């Protein structure tokens, strides 16, 4: 029985999130169904995190144990043959039995995209938030600098379990222009529930002039911004998760 680490990519548009749910379509249930087609009898795969409904991934990590008698490449090929077009395995690796995708992670990187068009662009809209006008990049980056470091982020999200800590460390938070409009990169040791989408909402409103630039700093200092709105899920993608021994482990 080997223990596997897999990297998954998916278009989250038609999924109710990663986590398996009783009556809704989820990434986890779809992937586990493909795995069972190969003879897997495990209870559940373990993910690096649970992406929300409509959120995408290029670097979601899952692990599971499986008595597979063929090569790692054969496992990847067999799974992809059983998976739908919007979900695929990008890499397969055998790891030690103690590997845990969530608890062993050193850092996670998310990307959020914005674009501005007079009407919806079908080739972009599943993966970006459409605005009437793009916000001020410099204003958003000045506010985003406040996020760097270790803070209590309770103003921007909830702990993943009751009485869990809301302290997180952010290593990078910056906006850039790209070919479709703007992109936000944020890397941290971990994230609270809805944290990235709430941060993006606040930063975009700052960039549009609807909120003062000090909103982020006040939220970190007081534990509240008074804002509960979230940026749309479709603009958010989990890009990668880094573990000890990875080539970009250094923080």
Percent of the chain that is helix, strand, coil (3-state, to 5)? 25, 30, 45
Nearest to 4 by CA among 99, 70, 114, 88: 99
Contact, 125 vs 234, CB < 8 A? yes
DSSP 193: B
Residues composing the chain: 251
Q: To 5 degrees, how large is the angle CA 110–CA 112–CA 113?
A: 150
Q: Which of 231, 10, 200, 238 shows the shortest CA–CA distance to 102?
A: 238
**Beta partners for residue 168, in sequence order:** 151
Question: Are residues 168 and 195 in contact, defined by beta-carbon separation less than 8 angstroms?
Answer: yes
Non-local (6+) Cβ contacts of 42 within 8 A are: 35, 64, 65, 66
Q: Name every residue whose Cβ is closer than 8 Å to that of residue 95 and which is 6 or more positions away in sequence.
A: 3, 4, 5, 63
Distance CA 172, CA 178 (A): 18
CA-nearest of 46, 58, 49 to 4 is: 46
Judge whether 52 counts as a catalytic residue.
Answer: yes
Q: Choosing from 11, 52, 86, 132, which is the catalytic residue?
A: 52
Of residues 105, 97, 110, the one with CA closest to residue 65 = 97
Name the residues annotated as catalytic: 52
């Amino acid at each position: 029985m080997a223990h596997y680490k897999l990297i998954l990519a998916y278009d989250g548009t038609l999924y109710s999130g990663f986590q398996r749910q009783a009556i809704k379509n989820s990434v986890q249930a779809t992937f586990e169904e493909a795995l069972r087609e190969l003879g897997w009898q495990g209870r559940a795969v373990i993910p690096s995190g649970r992406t929300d409904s409509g959120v995408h991934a290029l670097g979601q990590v899952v692990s599971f144990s499986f008595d597979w008698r063929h090569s790692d490449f054969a496992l990847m090929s067999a799974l992809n043959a059983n998976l739908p077009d919007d979900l695929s395995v990008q890499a397969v690796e055998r790891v030690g039995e103690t590997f845990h995708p969530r608890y062993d992670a050193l850092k996670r990187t998310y990307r959020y995209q914005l674009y501005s068009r007079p009407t919806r662009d079908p080739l972009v809209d599943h993966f970006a938030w459409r605005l009437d006008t793009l916000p001020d990049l410099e204003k958003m980056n000045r506010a985003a600098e406040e996020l760097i470091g270790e803070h209590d982020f309770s103003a921007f999200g909830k702990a993943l379990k009751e009485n869990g800590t809301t302290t997180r460390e952010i290593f990078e938070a910056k906006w850039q222009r790209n070919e479709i409009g703007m992109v936000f990169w944020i890397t941290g040791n971990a994230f609270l529930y809805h944290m990235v989408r709430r941060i993006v909402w606040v930063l975009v409103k700052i960039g549009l002039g609807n909120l003062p630039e000090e909103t982020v700093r006040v939220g970190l200092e007081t534990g509240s911004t008074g804002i509960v709105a979230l940026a749309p899920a479709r603009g958010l993608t989990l890009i990668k998760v880094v573990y000890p021994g990875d080539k970009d482990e250094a923080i």
